[in-house]
Amino acid sequence: MQESQKSPWFLHPTLLTVGLLYGAGYSIAKVALNSSIPPFGFALLRVFFSAIILSGIQWIFVKERVTDRKDLILLAKCGLFGVALNQLFFLKGLSYTTAINSSLIMTLIPVMVMVFSYFLLKEVVGFKKILGIVLALVGAILLLYKDEFGITGDTFKGDLYNLINASCYAFYLVLVKPMMQKYHPLTVIKWVFIFSFFVVFPFGISDVISIPYSDLPAEVWGSVIYIIIAVTVLVYWLNVITLKYTSPSIVGVYIYLQPIFATSIAVLAFNETFGWKQVIAASFVFSGVYFVSFSSKIKKKSA
């Protein structure tokens, strides 16, 4: 399908909305994390309610079943890396670092996907992609190293956790590919969230029980609801809709708008700072992502 000929008028506005919703999520999530909601408790609330909502949507619109035991085992692995570890490290890391740093680190995902594809799918990596890895790695190091190039402090810990989070999600994207080709995306994501719940539960249940719900201000409730509905359910639902009319590569390009939205919102609404280190790091990261994502097509290794 040629996107320029057959794409509906709402395609790009929808993708722009997805980028804005996700970009705003970094700062909005910190509203809850900076209050009385611990990161692991937040992760459990997000996974639990998202699993219920996505299961309901899948039951209404798809009604597809997964009966193959091997597929269920693979979906369980996807739930472990794509949601459970991903969300535990993301929210824990975000509680220590800034929304700006977190959003920049997440743009490393295409680079990590390529690295995992090399080892798992035996894809050849050319010079441009190697250059991209090096540039992105330099950008990540600049973000991780703090005052006078020390490696101490909460922001270093938070950035490192978010780097692990991005790695888990990148591994998930490679792992989930055959499932996306075999089943409807809503069926896949429903099971991914269901399996992830059982992993996150032991880490977050004590935090969920200890949350003083009656004392939470409206903005904290708004933060939690926004992350569950807008950043998880709505963003995924909109991405599924847009994938009907265009290629995943077009959808992927809009991921790189998220740090722009996240930085603008964090600076204007939440008084975060965007200093020279973030500017230089962002330049390296985006250059690396460009060489990895938009260089010539990689070929499979010869047998």
Report yes or no: 1 and 193 within 8 Å, Cβ to Cβ.
no
Q: Which one is predicted more confidently, 143 or 40?
A: 40
User: pLDDT tens for residues 77-111?
Assistant: 999 999 999 999 999 999 998 888 888 888 777 77
Mean pLDDT check: name the lowest of 20-29, 96-105, 123-132: 123-132
**Whole-angstrom Cα distance, residue 181 to residue 127?**
30
Q: Which residue carries 């975000």 as its tokens?
A: 94
Q: Has residue 148 got a pLDDT over 60?
A: no
Burial label for 249, CB within 10 Å (0-12, 13-18, 19+), is: exposed
Report CA 50 to chain centroid distance, whole Å: 15
* Confidence at residue 178, expressed as pLDDT on a 0 to 100 scale: 85
Q: Has residue 302 got a pLDDT over 60?
A: no
Sequence-distant (≥ 6) Cβ neighbours of residue 71 within 8 angstroms: 179, 182, 183
Mean pLDDT of 121-128: 71
Across the chain, mean pLDDT equals: 82
User: pLDDT tens for residues 282-301?
Assistant: 788 778 767 766 654 444 44
Sequence-distant (≥ 6) Cβ neighbours of residue 98 within 8 angstroms: 155, 158, 266, 272
**Whole-angstrom Cα distance, residue 186 to residue 50?**
12
Q: Which residue carries 């990689």 as its tokens?
A: 298
Q: Has residue 234 got a pLDDT over 60?
A: yes
* Confidence at residue 154, expressed as pLDDT on a 0 to 100 scale: 65
User: pLDDT tens for residues 168-211?
Assistant: 988 988 888 888 889 988 899 999 999 999 999 999 999 999 99
Q: Has residue 7 got a pLDDT over 80?
A: no
| Local confidence band at 143 (pLDDT 50, 70, 90 cut-offs) | low
Mean pLDDT of 240-249: 62
* Confidence at residue 140, expressed as pLDDT on a 0 to 100 scale: 72
Mean pLDDT of 117-123: 74
* Confidence at residue 149, expressed as pLDDT on a 0 to 100 scale: 42
